Amino acid sequence: MNKKRLRQWMAPFATATLILNTGYGILGPDAVASALPTERHNSNLTGLNIPQSHTKLATIQGRQIPITSSTKLTTLTGHKPNINQVMKLMSTQLVTSNIAPADVSNLTAIPTETTKVNLSWTNPSDINFDHVKVVNVTNDVYVDNIRSNSYMMSGLQPNTTYTFRVKTVNKSGNESLGTTVQVKTASTDAPVDKTPPGEVSGLTATNIGYNGFTINYILPKDADLSQAIIYLNGTEIQKTTGTSYTFNVLNAATAYTVMVKTIDKSGNISQGVSIPVTTSSVSTDIVPEVTGASVTSVNNYSVTVSWTKPSGISTVSLYKDGQLVTDSTGSSYTFNNLSASQTYTFTIKSKRSTGALSSGVKLTATTNSTSSNSSEVSNLEVDSKSGTWIKITYDMPSRAERVKIYVDGDYKGTTTSESYKITDLREGRWYEIKVITVNSSGRESSGVKISERTNSDGSYSSSSSSSNYEKARDLMRIAENSLNASDWRSARDAISDLPTGTRKSDLLDRLEAIRNRALGTGSSSSGTNSTTTTSGTTTSYTNNAVASYSTSFTLTPGAKTAYVDGRATTIAQAPKVINGVTMVPLRFISERVGYDVNYEKGTKKIILNRPTDGKQVVLQVKNSTLAVYELNNSRNYSTSITAPVIVNGYTLVPLRVISELSGYQVNYNAASKQITITK
């Protein structure tokens, strides 16, 4: 059959056309015809050979069929062959799929010695997965036929950065593109840590059902702790920084052994703690499901769901992405501390008093994107002021419909203008002014802030008449008179913004003197004793005096509300998770753990000094090297970290680095996504 004749008899069978996906495009009837020999074959279709280098999939009537060069269209007699014949002939010559399996996940690399790096990962669940291949990209060396989920790469150079690629391979030898990880081997100058971390404690099993259960435990407080490793019957299941894990899809009435080991940043693994757990028998009692389950509210960082409990059920168990969050006796619940622009699956399971659970009703919701909010105003500044009013100006973004004005947290008004006059103010007083944009959908931005003081003599003036130094000095005087923590922080922030010099040094000395007065045992200038009183776990200071360095913090990535020593406070820039590392505003964390902060705008270098122990820490924006100088111990060293970055005008630094250098312990709760820092 010639090419013209082939196109003619293929045209009526448009929905049954043989299409070849060669990896370079789709071959339709014309392309198939061009692949045929040029000589005639007397209405017979014979010898269609597919070049092996181009072979991927054949698509017949919407079905994708793998083929190779050994696949041929054998002789079909007649001028109008039936497509069922084609499919029948093709199906007898199918070969094993040559599609590469999915890549590994959770790839980590930990330097264990100066010449060794331990790689670990989670293998894919593809049915055609066979083994993995580890490639040392730096030296073009590879190790094949690895059938475990870890490998110790040896023979490396000390203090050298390597890139490794882990590829998956199927039974036909097809390789995936692979997943890469970069790691630096230990330096010969640094002592090698070979001590494993402490064990977890309080390992227990809860919510034991016929097909699963949840384990809970407490992580040790080792400063170099990396994560916990969960095992089931000796097989590694998960690496996690959380304190709980839920096993699913298990067998009923079956005994299991759960072990939890810990691993530190040097790759040392503990012996592990284990407990036996036996799943319950399958019950004939089918627990009824909730009804009317729905998502009732979605925000940037939270989702609210509601439901109606069935008769006889007083409690439901709530899960987020398969992990138990809490039990509830209500009819609605808000999942907080979520990430913006992320899709979550929430499951509501009815729970008997015996602990028996229903299969659960699942709901899916995607949190709002922060980018969908109105943009912020720009060029916010004070235009003019008097003793009783302050006029501000700003540039509104194109997406903003109007702005809202707040003064010291109180709403003042709404306007579509690019200027606003705030009236009824007091003479000689500092005010915090915030401008929030609102778009046509009613979404509000986080807001931009500016601080300004009204004139003390009631006269009119422009903003240029008050220098930064005068502002800092006035705030210092207020703090000296009140010994109030809020006033002290305002003075501290204003002084920190001053350029280095004698005047700044004098103000810093006075700032430290205020702290000493507030923490002393004598009386303050107002006659109020400044001794501390304790109620429960929260320490409160009489007259809200300046507190010593904070001993506990609770933060949540993406949230601007944090808790310092049990008190709620607002962070100007919310913590962010960047490449798996939690980054926090520099001043928020460093000054609260005892460091004085100096920032060089030209070099973007950050110098942290802690007078109490003579320690100095030096970082730099977009530089992954951290230097530490322990002046009292005459010891210096440097290490590699996630480089500090600037977000929305705020310098963010790695939370764990700053906290642990200061002797603080950092723990992360995977269920609540909360970070707890304790002294």
* Helix (H), strand (E), coil (C) string for 209-239: CCCCEEEEEECCCCCCEEEEEEEECCEEEEE
Cα–Cα dist 362/293, whole Å: 8
Q: Residue 113: is its pLDDT beyond 90? A: no
pLDDT tens, residue by residue, 122-147: 888 888 888 999 998 888 788 888 88
pLDDT at 519: 46
For residue 498, pLDDT beyond 60 = yes
Query: Between 457 and 196, whose confidence is greater?
Result: 196
Contact indicator for 639, 224 with CB cutoff of 8 Å:
no
Residue 77 has pLDDT above 80, yes or no: no
Is residue 72 within 8 A of residue 47, CB to CB? The reply is yes
Listing DSSP states for 182-195 in one string gives EEEPPPTTSPPP-P
Q: Please state whether the predicted TM-score (pTM) of the whole model is above 0.75.
A: no
Q: What is the pLDDT of residues 277-324, one digit of tens each?
A: 998 887 656 889 999 999 888 877 788 899 999 988 989 999 998 888
Residue 272: Cβ within 10 Å count:
17
Query: Strand, helix or coil at 281?
Result: coil
Distance CA 228, CA 87 (A): 52
Q: Report CA torsion sign: 309, 313, 315, 318.
A: negative
Beta strands 596-600 and 213-218 are unpaired
Which residue has better confidence, 158 or 443?
A: 158
Give Cβ neighbours of residue 484 (< 8 Å, ≥ 6 apart): 543, 544, 545, 546
Percent of the chain with pLDDT over 90: 15
CA distance 227 to 264: 7
pLDDT given for residue 516 in this prediction: 58
Following CA atoms 482, 487, 491, 494 in sequence, which dihedral angle do they give, to the nearest 10 degrees? -150
**Residue (of 309, 351, 354) closest to 332 by Cα position:** 309
Is residue 452's pLDDT more than 90?
no
